[in-house]
Amino acid sequence: MVYMQKHPTVMCKELVDKLKKEKILKKEEYLYLIQNRKYVEEYLFKVARSVADSIYGKQIYIRGLIEFSNICKNNCYYCGIRNGNKNLDRYRLTKEDILKCADEGYSLGFRTFVLQSGEDMFFSDEVLEEIISKIKEKHPDCALTLSIGERDFKSYERLRKAGADRYLLRHETASKSHYEKLHPENMSFDNRIKCLKNLKSLGYQVGAGFMVGSPYQTEENLAEELIFLKKLNPQMVGIGPFIPHKDTPFKNEKQGEVDITLVMLSLIRLTLPNVLLPATTALGTIDNLGREKGILAGANVLMPNLSPVSVRKKYMLYDNKICTGDEAASCIECLKQRINKIGYDIVISRGDYKGGKEND
């Protein structure tokens, strides 16, 4: 008897259909899809987009990003604002500056703010509590997200009580050995994961995430990301391509690729159908139409910058970051047009997660 093997296109389509139905695949099945992505990309994007449409419609949520300090005690090998980068002008916004950014964002239509910074110990629990409660007091209809790195349980608890609703902390990679190749010895994978668990237990809506194409990442690592995310079950997943920064140890490493990033966005959408999934600035940086392509592959969130233009260029996590010269208002206008062109609308809302407590 002649042994007939199925063509990869057929195999891949069957796996995409299975993933849509069962919302999980085995690690080898994810790996097969990632390795054979060329055969199935268009179909995969279409299915993932239709799942996003069925939950979030033609609406794209926006979150206003306020990068309030680029001072960081950490030394991650990939990151442009790492402590070891002595070529960088460091800044710290005042409480008044931060409130002004939020006010401006509010009048531009934002109903959710992401306060992001390096791990800057100046921002103690007391200082942050004041900022958080002030923003919430002025804008009670807004959701407040923090993205300020690893802190202890007590600190997360205080900030939650002060009014923070959500927290973004990318795990960066689901593999401990890979994590150790991206970070110096004083940083620990186990602590990172513990932080995510602590945040969840405190009732934050949590965003995890990783870079695609970071140095030493394998396709097997990418398959493991999907298994990890399914277990963690976060409300949000931020992924973007790794982009080398000239003043880091990874300056000569290869940049992540658009197509694998899009494939990962789609696989995440199908694995966690309700998840909030940004088309990131990093994706828009390596491809002029990256964010549009991200949305068409299943993303449903954009995170434009609300930081004062005077500090934008100082928050360079990677080289050539886009939108660092544009006033928030013109950036929003630009985004609206781009998004309308592909048949979607930016909405004024808190952009709440639609998965309820558990993401089935």
Residues making contact with ligand 5AD (CB under 6 A): 78-79, 170, 172, 211, 240, 242-243, 245, 282, 317-318
Least Å distance, CB 325 to ligand FES, is 8
Q: Which of 331, 339, 344, 346 binds ligand FES (CB under 6 A)?
A: 331
| 80 or 105: CB nearest ligand 5AD | 80
Pick what 172 binds: ligand 5AD, ligand FES, none; C-beta below 5 to 8 Å, kind-dependent: ligand 5AD
- Give the CB-nearest residue to ligand 5AD: 318
- When CB distances are held under 5 to 8 angstroms depending on the partner's kind, the choice from ligand FES, ligand 5AD, none that residue 317 binds is ligand 5AD
Degrees to nearest 5, angle at CA 142 with 140 and 148: 115
| Residue 195 contacts which entry, ligand FES, ligand 5AD, none (Cβ below 5-8 A, type-dependent) | none
Binding segment toward ligand FES, per CB under 6 A, in 63-71, 160-168, 326-334, 346-354: 326-334
Shortest distance (Å) from residue 256 CB to ligand 5AD: 7
Q: Does 327 bind ligand FES (CB under 6 A)?
A: no
How far is Cα 300 from Cα 186, in angstroms, rounded to an integer? 35
Query: Angle at the Cα of 178 (from 172 to 181), degrees rounded to 5?
Result: 100
- Based on the number of CB atoms within 10 Å of its own CB, is 135 exposed (0-12), middle (13-18) or buried (19 or more)? buried
Distance from C-alpha of 190 to C-alpha of 129, rounded to nearest angstrom: 27
Tell whether residue 259 is a contact of ligand FES (CB under 6 A).
no
Q: Which does 243 bind (CB under 5 to 8 A by kind): ligand 5AD, ligand FES, none?
A: ligand 5AD
Q: State phi, psi for 37 to the nearest 5 degrees.
A: -55, -35
DSSP line for 69-94:
E---S---TT-TT-TT-TTS---B--
**Beta carbon of residue 340, minimum distance to ligand FES (angstroms, whole number):** 13
When the beta carbons of 237 and 243 are compared against ligand 5AD, the nearer one is 243
- Which of ligand FES, ligand 5AD, none lies near 267, with the C-beta cut-off 5 to 8 A by kind? none
Only one of the segments 68-76, 78-86, 143-151, 331-339 lies at the binding site for ligand FES (rule: CB under 6 A); that segment is 331-339
Buried b (16+ CB within 10 A) or exposed e, 300-336: bbbbbbbbbeebbebbbbbeebbbbebebeebbeebb
Report residue 260 CA to chain centroid gap.
Answer: 16
Place of tokens 């990874």: 250
* Contact status: 323 vs ligand FES (CB under 6 A): yes
Select from 334, 341, 343, 348 the one that contacts ligand FES (CB under 6 A): 334
168 three-state secondary structure: strand
CA dihedral 52, 57, 58, 59 (to 10 degrees): -90
- In the bound state with ligand 5AD, the residue whose beta carbon lies nearer, of 178 and 245, is 245
Number of residues that bind ligand FES (CB under 6 A): 5
| Binding residue for ligand FES, selected from 326, 327, 355, 359, defined by CB under 6 A | 326
Closest approach of ligand 5AD to the CB of residue 81, in Å: 8
Residue 348 · residue 228 · CB < 8 Å: no
Nearer to ligand 5AD, 164 or 243 (CB): 243
Q: How far is the CB of 17 from ligand FES (least distance, A)?
A: 35
- CA 333 from centre of chain: 22
Rounded least distance, CB 323 to ligand FES, Å: 3
Q: Residue by residue, what is the 3-state secondary structure of 320-346?
A: CCCCCCCCHHHHHHHHHHHHHHCCCEE
The torsion angles phi and psi of 328, rounded to 5 degrees, stand at -55, -40
Which residues here bind ligand FES, judged by CB under 6 A?
323, 326, 331, 334-335
